[in-house]
Amino acid sequence: MWQLKKAYYRAFQKVMKIAMYAFDWSEPLLLEGPGAIKKLPDLIKSKGLKNVLIVTDKGLMSLHILDSLFAKLEETGIEYVVYDGTQPNPTIDNIEDARQLYLDNNCEGVIAFGGGSPMDCAKATAARVTNPKLPVRKMRGVLKLHHKLPPLFAVPTTAGTGSETTLAAVVTDPTTHEKNAINDPRLRPKYAVLDPELTIGLPPHITSTTGMDALTHAVEAYIGRSNVKSTEHYAELATRLIYANIEEVYNNGKNIEARNAMLKASYYAGMAFTRAYVGYVHAIAHNLGGFYGVPHGLANAIILPYVLEYYGETAHARLAKLAVISGVKTDGTDAEKAEAFIESIKQLNRNMNIPDKFDMIKEEDIPTIVKRALKEGNPLYPVPKIMDEADCEAVIRRMMK
């Protein structure tokens, strides 16, 4: 029975890989460089929009990071309303509240401003606006949206999620604590702003965990079975940039060049995984976030080496290439290079004070976490090696204190 299931999963993944050729993979229109945020209102105006919803969170509002955007919008004559109720793992309630604000104020477009949570909230909000008969729970899965979104402008303030160029959004169900992963090309923003000045004030622990989130995107995309030449190229670029810059931005957050490099790395990693997918690291991380509120980047950073070790020799050849690209190890067998690369991930975590285990996972929650992680991962994620429930439980137990 298990062999038949695995055969079905692989067949599904092959079909999905072929189907991906039918979609438009052109990149978002980018505004890049220090101060690029000030160019956004003119871009919005050029699209004929007069009123927009800005989706962000209270933390960013309290830091006044959006003040220059507000001033420029007003100067340009564009009206705006702000939804800042986004929670660290945005909920269905967040989406519905933001949607109502959009409708009440006759908005014509959405600006997603922040890290992964405001990005996911903005995407799902925009989807609900144009798909009013489709609740968030029914958006879960692949290709569920029926109508294109209103114009969506993505402004990342962390170098991690790559959401400014991905077709994914994740929304938590506050009733069940389950995460709804939505995957649809209609979610992909058409416009994005990569302004390193917006990331200068990030605390070191946010810089490190979001950076490791980007690395997870690149690695999971690269070792999966749905790569094409472009996604391989983007994943390699991202990995190289992250290894060259992540510890520098962690230790010296005001280095604008390194901050810019990390933003580009996050963007490239997003370009890689939005077509080549992620894997079990994300499936488990999503559910730890849903159950315990673990920040997504932190969860990915801790989980990544454990899942890579589970894949074993099925991932050695690909990880060996990343070892060379990142400068971790350029000689030896594939197995030796792969093991060195996994060890380098552990060392990055140690150097940036990221723990190596979780202390909040409850014994009674494990069966549900396993079930939900595999429901997300199988058959969608084209991983090197398919997990069953026993495999997934064993990996989770290894990462518990």
Cβ atoms 37, 155 nearer than 8 A: yes
Cα–Cα distance measured from residue 223 to residue 215, given in angstroms and rounded to the nearest whole number: 12
- Angle 389-314-266 from CA coordinates, rounded to 5°: 90
What's the CATH code, domain 7-199? Answer: 3.40.50.1970
Q: Check pLDDT > 90 for residue 390.
A: yes
Query: Which fold, 204-398?
Result: Dehydroquinate synthase-like, alpha domain (1.20.1090)
Element (H, E) at 175: none
Confidence label for 335 from pLDDT (cuts 50, 70 and 90): very high
Question: Measured in Å, how far apart are the chain's first and last C-alpha atoms?
Answer: 34
Bridge partners, residue 255, by sequence? none
Q: Check pLDDT > 90 for residue 188.
A: yes
Cα–Cα distance measured from residue 209 to residue 297, given in angstroms and rounded to the nearest whole number: 5
Q: Check pLDDT > 90 for residue 89.
A: no
| CB within 8 Å of 84: residues ≥ 6 apart | 56, 57, 58, 60, 61
Cα–Cα distance measured from residue 157 to residue 159, given in angstroms and rounded to the nearest whole number: 7
Per-residue pLDDT reduced to its tens digit, 346-357: 999 999 999 999
The chain-wide mean pLDDT, for the chain, equals 96
Q: What is the pLDDT of residue 26?
A: 87
Q: What is the pLDDT of residue 24?
A: 85
pTM of the predicted structure, to 2 decimals: 0.95
- DSSP symbol at 337: H
Cα–Cα distance measured from residue 15 to residue 377, given in angstroms and rounded to the nearest whole number: 16
Nearest residue to 291 via CA among 89, 87, 86:
89
Bridge partners, residue 29, by sequence? 191
| CB within 8 Å of 127: residues ≥ 6 apart | 134, 139, 145, 149, 169, 182, 184, 186, 187
3-state DSSP assignment of residue 223: helix
Q: What is the pLDDT of residue 274?
A: 95
What percent of the chain shows pLDDT beyond 70? 100
Parallel, antiparallel, or unpaired for β 141-142 and 178-183? parallel
What percent of the chain shows pLDDT beyond 90? 94
Q: Which of 88-92, 187-191, 270-274 has the lowest mean pLDDT?
A: 88-92
Q: Check pLDDT > 90 for residue 75.
A: yes
Q: What is the mean pLDDT of residues 26-48?
A: 96
Q: Check pLDDT > 90 for residue 178.
A: no
- DSSP symbol at 167: S
Confidence label for 298 from pLDDT (cuts 50, 70 and 90): very high
Q: Give backbone dihedrals phi and psi of 49, rounded to 5 degrees, phi first.
A: -90, 140
Sequence spans of domains, the chain: 7-199, 204-398
Q: Check pLDDT > 90 for residue 177.
A: no
Q: What is the pLDDT of residue 23?
A: 87
Per-residue pLDDT reduced to its tens digit, 249-276: 999 999 999 999 999 999 999 999 999 9
| Signed CA dihedral, 103, 37, 251, 236: sign only | positive
Q: What is the pLDDT of residue 339?
A: 98
Nearest residue to 372 via CA among 358, 400, 392, 357:
392
